[in-house]
Amino acid sequence: MIDYQSLRFDYRRHADQDAAAPARHPVVIVGAGPVGLTLAIDLALRQVPVVLLDNDNTLSSGSRAICFAKRTLEVFDRLGCGDRMVDKGVSWNVGKVFFHDEQVYRFDLLPEPGHERPAFINLQQYYVEGYLVERAAALPLIDLRWNNKVTGIEQSDDGAVLTVETPEGEYRLQADYVAACDGSRSNTRQMLGLEAKGRVFRDRFLIADITMDADLPTERRFWFDPSFHPGQSVLLHKQADGMWRVDFQLGWDADPVEERKPENITPRVRALLDSIGFEGVQFRIGWASVYTFACQRMERFRHGRVLFAGDSAHGVSPFGARGANSGVQDADNLAWKLAAVVQGQAPDALLDSYASEREYAADENIRNSTRATDFITPKSEVSRLFRDAVLELTKRHAFARTLVNSGRLSVPSVLRDSPLNTPDADAFSGAMVPGAAAADAPVVHADGSTGWLLRECHVAQFTALVFGQGEAAERSLAELRASDRPLHVVRMEDGARGSELAARRYDARPGTVYLLRPDQHVCARWRAPSAAQVRGAVDRALGKH
């Protein structure tokens, strides 16, 4: 078994370092974390060569982002590495919230059947990065350079020149576009004199990985003011390899250095385990960290030829698992647009929609994250008064449970107001509005074999879902063909067992067509489209209107 935590990747000298003039590449990505790797793989699958620079030669140190959401798994599926993540990770849908030592609330994040992926898996970030690195290594178009630290950037109208420091000295690189995926303390952001602004929360939290042999269900457990850690919150969550994540709220006055010491972590974990009936269970403490956080974002995610994605662009509190998940969705949103632009299929302006769509999503994530944080760590007397009132009422009144906020967990943003959407001309009901990420559903093929709707979508192209069969469906198919746009057509025939769920989720009738962008967001839908409407919608989604 590979120990991903201790993996070291070799620095290799590249011919670019000996070039007389800086070599030019269509896309250079700064930072090989989950976001940069996702973006690189996605671009390579679209036949765009990528240079991916990382400032060190290791994967994530510590488990860090452990909760990977359904939507992220669907993106990883599209990139060809979702199965490994899900096989290794711990799948979960249920969360329980305790006040004092009593359960007051239980939520199921995926209460309906008919989805390939669970609401979440928990998997240590080093596994996610490791699997992405291995996926990237199988793609010759990705040139991943370890120990390549960007120390300078100069922008012009048609690109940027990067100065890169290596163990063998500096060299320069030209890029048509630069994606800055270099984390919350983004060097690229600082070098361009840009800031992420927002709210810093004055509280400290201890997170630790503990390894133990305990038979607990794989659910998220969150305590407000438990007897074993009075006045604060605690989170317990299972990861892969019999590892558990504990998260103790400590308050602002806690000493981050002292609290990280194993002799101070041990009694806290012991008290937690004793209180849930694991008095005899032994545990080992692994990685631990004391963190603070801010909810913040850059004002704009695009600055000329530089695009910011992930933590470099926005930051949230960890409650809600909206950090890495939103970063992967940034990459998902950016990759197809960047590919379309560098391959001359779309104008440069399409990249403006990356910024506007993901700024909107960041606001949504920050809003949810801030609300959860205000509930978990009330920062004024009156805020604590109402928080405690809610928790007290949960013991007697069902309504109060809906107010309990231990983190509203990551779901993809509905890009309702995106300029890439074609507004509905026909009446539809349900959740699959233009801008929504396409919902999964089981599919049954004509030959009786089964699959999943999202797996049928094209890795790189626009997909058209055509529902039903018979005359209406044939008419829609003919119009799609006549539209003269490269579309991957997926038939969703009714009648076959299992397919009615898809029809219901999409409020489909025979002939209904959904146009999905390459990132699987709905951008248009019709009951009976014309070729001209389809053409218009594809062109609009490519920023050509």
Partner 1 sequence: MTASTPKLITDPHLEAPDDFYEALIDAHQGLSTQESNAYNARLVLVLANHIGSLAVLREALAAAK
Point out which residues bind partner 1 (CB under 8 A). Answer: 385-386, 388-390, 392-393, 397, 399-400, 403
As a whole number of angstroms, the distance between CA 493 and CA 528 comes to 16
Burial class (CB in 10 A: 0-12, 13-18, 19+), 275: middle
358: left (phi over 0), alpha (psi -120 to 50) or beta: alpha
Q: Classify the C-alpha dihedral 327-350-422-345 as positive or negative.
A: negative
Residue 442 makes CB contacts below 8 A (sequence gap 6+) with 114, 450, 451, 452, 453, 498, 499, 501, 502
**Minimum distance from residue 405 beta carbon to partner 1 (Å):** 14
**Minimum distance from residue 417 beta carbon to partner 1 (Å):** 21
C-beta closer to partner 1: residue 13 or 384: 384
As a whole number of angstroms, the distance between CA 119 and CA 362 comes to 20
C-beta closer to partner 1: residue 389 or 425: 389
Please name the residue that has the structure tokens 């032994």: 282
**What is the phi/psi pair of residue 271, to 5°?**
-65, -40
**Minimum distance from residue 537 beta carbon to partner 1 (Å):** 34
Retrieve residue 14's tokens. Answer: 């590249």
C-beta closer to partner 1: residue 389 or 482: 389
As a whole number of angstroms, the distance between CA 542 and CA 423 comes to 15
- The helix (run of H) or strand (run of E) holding residue 303 is strand 302-303
As a whole number of angstroms, the distance between CA 93 and CA 106 comes to 11
C-beta closer to partner 1: residue 280 or 399: 399
Beta bridge partners of 289: 207
**Minimum distance from residue 394 beta carbon to partner 1 (Å):** 10
C-beta closer to partner 1: residue 285 or 403: 403
C-beta closer to partner 1: residue 403 or 531: 403
Q: Classify the C-alpha dihedral 124-130-133-137 as positive or negative.
A: negative
**Which segments within 109-232 are labelled E, that is strand?**
120-122, 142-145, 149-156, 159-166, 169-180, 196-212, 220-224
C-beta closer to partner 1: residue 346 or 404: 404
**Minimum distance from residue 27 beta carbon to partner 1 (Å):** 44
**Minimum distance from residue 389 beta carbon to partner 1 (Å):** 4
**Minimum distance from residue 102 beta carbon to partner 1 (Å):** 17
**What is the phi/psi pair of residue 127, to 5°?**
-70, -45
**Minimum distance from residue 253 beta carbon to partner 1 (Å):** 23
Q: Are 521 and 74 spatial neighbours (Cβ–Cβ below 8 Å)? A: no
C-beta closer to partner 1: residue 281 or 393: 393
